[in-house]
A and B are shown apart, each in its own frame.
Chain A
Amino acid sequence: MPGFLERIAGKLKSYREPGYYTKLDHKWTMVIDLDKCNGCEACVVACYAENNLPVVGKEQCEKSRAFSWLRIERYVEGEYPDVKVKFIPVMCQHCMKAPCETGCPVYATYHNQDGLNVQVYNRCVGTFTCATYCTYDVRRFNWFTYKWPKPLEAQLNPDVSVREMGVMEKCTFCIQRIRSAKDTAKDEARPVKDGDIKPACSQSCPTGAIYFGDMQDPESVVAKLAKSPRRYRLLEELNADPSVIYLKRVMGDGTSSHE
């Protein structure tokens, strides 16, 4: 085998080594306290505003093409009058063993050194493979190029690309805010502090249910909360190793349905 092929093979092999992904600069993690969340959906609008999500209209919504990177799922149990309602905000879980990453034929989705599962829009060719592989149904596809009527386009966030037809997208943990916090930290010649970064959903949450921080920093709020006995992760048995940690809702009958 020629030398350059060997080099490539060696590199590809190193990606498969266990622990390759644990050598990260940061491990951004979100902790969501379901006992605080009251389902108000302020986070959903915050996400639309921050990430230039288009509004697709009723007909497209009917075809399940709405763009919400972040949605509030609501589950109803029981019958009148013993009705129990539960909320859970679901966004990209930034899995450390993400199924979507294994599927993309053009490497448009991959894991970066911050522990984020990222999507490169200009590389994406829209094969839809990642969305099919995704366990959490959080990937959204641009079926069309959506345009805002003037002057609504003045609101668009210049830190985030406006995506076009044929591109897959999803929650980025507000990577532009991470970048800007790192930028500020660099200017001030210090490392990024806990609390410097608040994704749009976390910032807007009226009840303060969404926490964000670096899991590799043992002093961070998320690292402490992650030790909570209420901790669990969504569909953990699928072993995708998600970076979003939920804290169980405290609720009446206490049937932890999944034990």
Chain B
Amino acid sequence: MKRRDFLKFIGIGGVGAGAGFVLGKVSKPPGAKLIPYLIPPEDIVPGVATWYASVCTLCGAGCGTLVRVMEGRAKKVEGNPGHPVNRGGLCALGQSSVQALYNPDRITKPLKRKGPRGSGEYAEITWDEALKTLAGNLTELKSKNESEKLHLLASPLGGTIDRLAGEFVSAFGSSNYSHYGLFQRKNLAFANLSAMGTASVPHYDIENTKYLLSFGADFASTWVSPVNYSNGYGKMRQGAGERGKLVQVEPRLSLTGASADEWVPAKPGTEALLALAIANTIVEKGLARDASAWRGVLSRYKAKDAASVCDVSVERIEAMAVEFARTRPSLAIAGDSVSSYENGVSGAIAVNILNQVAGNIGIIGGVMPNGDDLGNGKKIDFGRKISTLISAANAGKIKTLIVYGANPVFTTPKAARLEEALSKVPFIASFSSFMDETTAHADIILPAHTSLEDWGDDFPDPGVAAPVASLIQPVVGPVFDTKSLGDIFIELAKAVGGNVAGKINAPNFAEYLKASWKGLYSRNREMAAGTLGFEDFWNKALQRGGWWGPSRKRTATVSARAGEHLAGTPARFEGEEAQYPFYLIPYAQTAYMDGRGANLPWLQELPDPMTSVVWGTWVEINPKTAASLGLKEGDMVNIESPFGKISAPVYLYPGIRPDTVAVPIGQGHSHYGRYAKGRGANPIEILPFKEDPLSGEAALNSTRVRITRGATGERMVKMEGSTKELGRGIVQTVSPSEFKRMKKEVV
């Protein structure tokens, strides 16, 4: 080796070693800190998880939850195995509530509007200023003797917070407190009120039924109380007894329909007539158990007339009628394909009659009416519709509007002209924790806690034919500078003063809630059993997630008076068939529900169970229809109704009638955070503004549309490869008869 080379090697070696040393030095993690507690919280052991019982509030079902908390952070929300509503399960939406809690797009502080309304430009203010501003506005209203011009619009709240909000509004001197949600199930409640005397959804005992006839009830995804019904469904299929059967009547095969044994794709709008024809066939064939009151009314609905209207053969109607009446117990449930029309009440009543005729009411495995067991007197005010709010705003009858939880700007059609009406309201306050489309119109925002940070309670509606009272407790400290919803009302009452402060004189909502439960405890003897007084009861309820009593059997009869609400004709769809050839079915999808799930990243990336599409909207079209229109999958189309136009990519879906197209609800947000904003399209925009005149529930299936090519927009991304098994035997099946022969397995 030459001397020169040797030196070169030494040089390179030196530089290399030096570089290695330096890299080692800089890449070394900085001395990690070990931060002790100042005072150790009693219920926290670092490194060991604590579980708190609470209630999921992302939909109205009221599933009990257990929240896993480690070092003061919520890690996971699971179903509470002891809770009678969900018995341990929890749906995709409910489990994502931690992402609502830790959402990066939450409103972190009280805000005051800076830019023009709807622009979303706000300046941060303090809570003192926010409360003072709103209280000042209210006092001014009061001093001008315009108390009645305060409106409070909230999501369908229940329990004590609902009472507090109601007390606040009435003490202030206004009677305008209304609830609004896209899926309030008011049609079902009204049908039950007129038929059975209680304005609540009964308990559908799916677990024990042997023949479930579902009129578009998509309980596998979002319908009413999905986890409760799904739990029942599992037991109905593979429980202790014989395997139950599921028949689904709907124009678009829903997630639940996908699990059905039979799919009856009746023509949209005629399903209620089908229900009545089935009931009439049962009566005519002498299979009815209790039809005395209904013989006359039903005789108008002959199976052969219905067959042509509904696009279901006479034989099939008769076969369904016989099987429905003979199988014991059977159960019909009124889902979206009877209750989402302009005459939804009529459809729900038709299903009630069907249950009555087959003798399914008040029996195990049938319809089990719920009563007001705990005397918390929940009631639905059918007169308070979103249309009354709009006309009041237009007439200048609303000076101050407070919104909480409801997002009507997103969930009402453009035809309702809600935004125009809101512009006539001089002052809008929102208590929302998220910048949704309605909150974006607010002049001032007082962000409330999410339910994982707040106190509360819940009396599940629909109940489970047993008294249930669940408690919501804060499982973590507030993540941002938000306040408990109850505390906002209480502090506002104090700031307004006068008789409002006099009426609501609790120090904070936690105390108010406890006092309310003390009343509940003293009214209900059953609660005292096995407890050493109220404090003991309260602690046990906090531990268990609430209190629930034994099942109560009630019965009811669908009275003949309900017949006066029967429409007797198919529901109407706007738009001429020649111009607008397709029925539009906007439906609630597993993840987004009415749009509230769209800001949660897990749910955006959750493939839709039927189409596997992620992060966007799509329109489902029958492959034959698409072929006739010259469309292939992924093509961008305009969906045009007489009321507007949206665009979405085509998904070829064999499970839909050729004369129908379907679009999921939930995307198309103009606000609502980074995950939701500017993604997909909102089918509600192009609907006519129709409400059931009796109940006030919005009619979602109410317009025809035409499909035209050539729109531009977002690509469709789906996670599936093929929808075919290609002979690989991936999902193997056995026939029901084969199954009967097999030995019943032990569980």
Are A and B in contact, CB atoms below 8 Å, in the complex? yes
Q: Is the CB of A61 within 8 A of B654?
A: no
Q: Can you name the residue of chain B whose Cβ is closest to the Cβ of A224? A: B746
Q: Is the CB of B736 within 8 A of A77?
A: no
Contact of A154 with B609 at beta-carbon distance under 8 Å, contacts A55-B602, A254-B734 already known: no
Q: How far is the CB of A19 from chain B (nearest CB, A)?
A: 29
Residue A256 contacts which of B90, B616, B732 (CB distance < 8 angstroms)?
Answer: B732
A36-B234, A40-B609 are known contacts; what are 10 more A-B pairs with Cβ within 8 Å? Answer: A42-B95, A45-B96, A45-B603, A74-B723, A75-B730, A79-B654, A204-B89, A209-B234, A247-B238, A250-B237
Q: Is the CB of A61 within 8 A of B91?
A: no
The answer to whether A98 has its CB under 8 Å from any CB of chain B is: no
| 4 closest Cβ pairs, A-B complex | A254-B735, A258-B729, A207-B234, A206-B89
- Contact residues of A between 228 and 259, Cβ < 8 Å to B: 228-230, 232, 234-235, 246-258
Q: Is the CB of A76 within 8 A of B259?
A: no
How distant is the Cα of A203 from the Cα of B253 in the complex, in angstroms?
28
Q: Is the CB of A204 within 8 A of B78?
A: yes
Contact of A250 with B736 at beta-carbon distance under 8 Å, contacts A72-B609, A78-B654, A87-B258 already known: yes
The answer to whether B263 has its CB under 8 Å from any CB of chain A is: yes
Q: Which of the segments A102-110, A145-153, A163-171 contacts the partner chain?
A: A145-153
Q: Is the CB of A254 within 8 A of B78?
A: no
Residue B723 contacts which of A76, A155, A247, A258 (CB distance < 8 angstroms)?
Answer: A76
The answer to whether B739 has its CB under 8 Å from any CB of chain A is: yes
Q: In the complex, what residues of B have CB within 8 A of residue A81's CB?
A: 263, 265, 657
Q: Can you name the residue of chain A whose Cβ is closest to the Cβ of B231? A: A206
Q: Is the CB of B745 within 8 A of A227?
A: yes
Contact of A203 with B732 at beta-carbon distance under 8 Å, contacts A39-B255, A66-B719, A85-B258 already known: no
Q: Is the CB of A61 within 8 A of B717?
A: yes
Contact of A40 with B91 at beta-carbon distance under 8 Å, contacts A87-B259, A224-B746, A248-B733 already known: yes
Q: Most A CB atoms within 10 A — which of B70, B75, B602, B731?
A: B731
Q: How far is the CB of A46 from chain B (nearest CB, A)?
A: 6
Q: How far is the CB of B314 from chain A (nearest CB, A)?
A: 16
Q: Is the CB of A58 within 8 A of B616?
A: yes
The answer to whether B742 has its CB under 8 Å from any CB of chain A is: yes
Q: Is the CB of B654 within 8 A of A83?
A: yes
How distant is the Cα of A158 from the Cα of B70 in the complex, in angstroms?
8
Q: In the complex, what residues of B have CB within 8 A of residue A87's CB?
A: 258-259, 609, 731
Contact of A221 with B747 at beta-carbon distance under 8 Å, contacts A39-B609, A150-B104 already known: yes
Residue A208 contacts which of B75, B231, B729 (CB distance < 8 angstroms)?
Answer: B231
A-B contact pairs, 30 of them (CB 8 A): A35-B238, A36-B234, A36-B237, A36-B238, A38-B255, A41-B606, A45-B602, A58-B614, A71-B719, A75-B724, A76-B654, A77-B724, A80-B655, A85-B655, A152-B103, A152-B104, A154-B74, A155-B76, A204-B79, A208-B88, A209-B234, A230-B739, A232-B732, A235-B728, A235-B730, A249-B731, A249-B732, A250-B734, A250-B739, A256-B734
The answer to whether B230 has its CB under 8 Å from any CB of chain A is: yes
Q: Most B CB atoms within 10 A — which of A40, A64, A156?
A: A40
Q: In the complex, what residues of A have CB within 8 A of residue B727's CB?
A: 257-258
Q: In the complex, what residues of A have CB within 8 A of residue B226's CB?
A: 40, 206
- Contact residues of B between 43 and 96, Cβ < 8 Å to A: 47, 70, 73-79, 86, 88-92, 95-96
Residue A257 contacts which of B227, B624, B723, B732 (CB distance < 8 angstroms)?
Answer: B732
The answer to whether A182 has its CB under 8 Å from any CB of chain B is: no
Q: Is the CB of B720 within 8 A of A256?
A: no
Q: Most B CB atoms within 10 A — which of A57, A61, A80, A150?
A: A80
Q: In the complex, what residues of A have CB within 8 A of residue B587's CB?
A: none
The answer to whether A22 has its CB under 8 Å from any CB of chain B is: no
Task: Summarize A's interface: helix, strand, loop or mixed.
Answer: loop
Q: In the complex, what residues of B have CB within 8 A of residue A200's CB?
A: 76
Residue A45 contacts which of B70, B95, B265, B730 (CB distance < 8 angstroms)?
Answer: B95
Q: Is the CB of B261 within 8 A of A252?
A: yes
- Contact residues of B between 694 and 747, Cβ < 8 Å to A: 715, 717, 719-720, 723-725, 727-739, 742-743, 745-747
Residue-by-residue, is A197-235 near B (CB-CB < 8 Å gives 1, otherwise 0)?
000100111111100000000000100110111101011
A residues contacting the other copy or chain, number (CB 8 A): 82
The answer to whether A101 has its CB under 8 Å from any CB of chain B is: no
Q: Is the CB of B730 within 8 A of A38?
A: no
Q: Most A CB atoms within 10 A — which of B221, B230, B231, B610?
A: B230
Residue-by-residue, is B222-233 near A (CB-CB < 8 Å gives 1, otherwise 0)?
000011001101
Q: Can you name the residue of chain A whose Cβ is closest to the Cβ of B48? A: A180
Contact of A230 with B734 at beta-carbon distance under 8 Å, contacts A75-B723, A81-B263, A224-B746 already known: yes
Q: In the complex, what residues of B have CB within 8 A of residue A140's CB?
A: none
How distant is the Cα of A42 from the Cα of B96 in the complex, in angstroms?
10
How distant is the Cα of A206 from the Cα of B656 in the complex, in angstroms?
26
Residue-by-residue, is B287-300 near A (CB-CB < 8 Å gives 1, otherwise 0)?
00000000000000
The answer to whether B99 has its CB under 8 Å from any CB of chain A is: yes
The answer to whether A88 has its CB under 8 Å from any CB of chain B is: yes
How distant is the Cα of A56 from the Cα of B47 in the complex, in angstroms?
29
Q: Can you name the residue of chain B whose Cβ is closest to the Cβ of A211? A: B747
How distant is the Cα of A205 from the Cα of B231 in the complex, in angstroms?
8
Q: In the complex, what residues of A have CB within 8 A of residue B732's CB?
A: 232, 246, 248-249, 256-258
How distant is the Cα of A156 from the Cα of B99 in the complex, in angstroms?
11
The answer to whether B281 has its CB under 8 Å from any CB of chain A is: no
How distant is the Cα of A79 from the Cα of B263 in the complex, in angstroms?
12
- Contact residues of B between 236 and 255, Cβ < 8 Å to A: 237-238, 243, 253, 255
Q: Is the CB of A33 within 8 A of B731?
A: no
Q: Is the CB of A253 within 8 A of B735?
A: yes
The answer to whether B604 has its CB under 8 Å from any CB of chain A is: yes
Q: Is the CB of B737 within 8 A of A254?
A: yes
Q: Is the CB of B602 within 8 A of A154?
A: no
Q: How far is the CB of A7 from chain B (nearest CB, A)?
A: 35
Q: In the complex, what residues of A have CB within 8 A of residue B614's CB?
A: 58, 61, 66
How distant is the Cα of A84 from the Cα of B648 in the complex, in angstroms?
26
The answer to whether B658 has its CB under 8 Å from any CB of chain A is: yes
Q: Is the CB of A155 within 8 A of B99?
A: yes
Q: In the complex, what residues of A have CB within 8 A of residue B233's CB?
A: 36, 38, 207
Q: In the complex, what residues of B have CB within 8 A of residue A234's CB?
A: 730
Q: Most A CB atoms within 10 A — which of B91, B226, B259, B732?
A: B732
The answer to whether B423 has its CB under 8 Å from any CB of chain A is: no
How distant is the Cα of A255 from the Cα of B489 in the complex, in angstroms?
62
Q: In the complex, what residues of B have CB within 8 A of residue A35's CB?
A: 237-238, 243
Residue A62 contacts which of B717, B724, B733 (CB distance < 8 angstroms)?
Answer: B717
Q: Is the CB of A57 within 8 A of B733?
A: no
Q: Most A CB atoms within 10 A — which of B90, B623, B656?
A: B90
Q: Is the CB of A41 within 8 A of B609?
A: yes
Residue B92 contacts which of A40, A55, A66 (CB distance < 8 angstroms)?
Answer: A40
Q: How far is the CB of B593 from chain A (nearest CB, A)?
A: 13
- Contact residues of B between 477 and 499, Cβ < 8 Å to A: 479
Q: In the complex, what residues of A have CB within 8 A of residue B610's CB?
A: 39, 74, 85
Q: In the complex, what residues of B have CB within 8 A of residue A58's CB?
A: 614-616, 717
Q: Can you name the residue of chain B whose Cβ is closest to the Cβ of A235? A: B728
Q: Can you name the residue of chain A whose Cβ is closest to the Cβ of B222? A: A40
Residue-by-residue, is B94-109 near A (CB-CB < 8 Å gives 1, otherwise 0)?
0110110011100000
The answer to whether A26 has its CB under 8 Å from any CB of chain B is: no
How distant is the Cα of A71 from the Cα of B602 in the complex, in angstroms?
13
The answer to whether B220 has its CB under 8 Å from any CB of chain A is: yes
The answer to whether A157 has its CB under 8 Å from any CB of chain B is: yes
How distant is the Cα of A209 from the Cα of B239 in the complex, in angstroms?
11
Q: Is the CB of A49 within 8 A of B734?
A: no
Q: In the complex, what residues of B have CB within 8 A of residue A151's CB?
A: 102, 104, 479
How distant is the Cα of A66 from the Cα of B73 in the complex, in angstroms?
26
Contact of A86 with B655 at beta-carbon distance under 8 Å, contacts A58-B616, A229-B742 already known: no
The answer to whether B581 has its CB under 8 Å from any CB of chain A is: no
Q: In the complex, what residues of B have CB within 8 A of residue A78's CB?
A: 654
The answer to whether A48 has its CB under 8 Å from any CB of chain B is: yes
The answer to whether B147 has its CB under 8 Å from any CB of chain A is: no
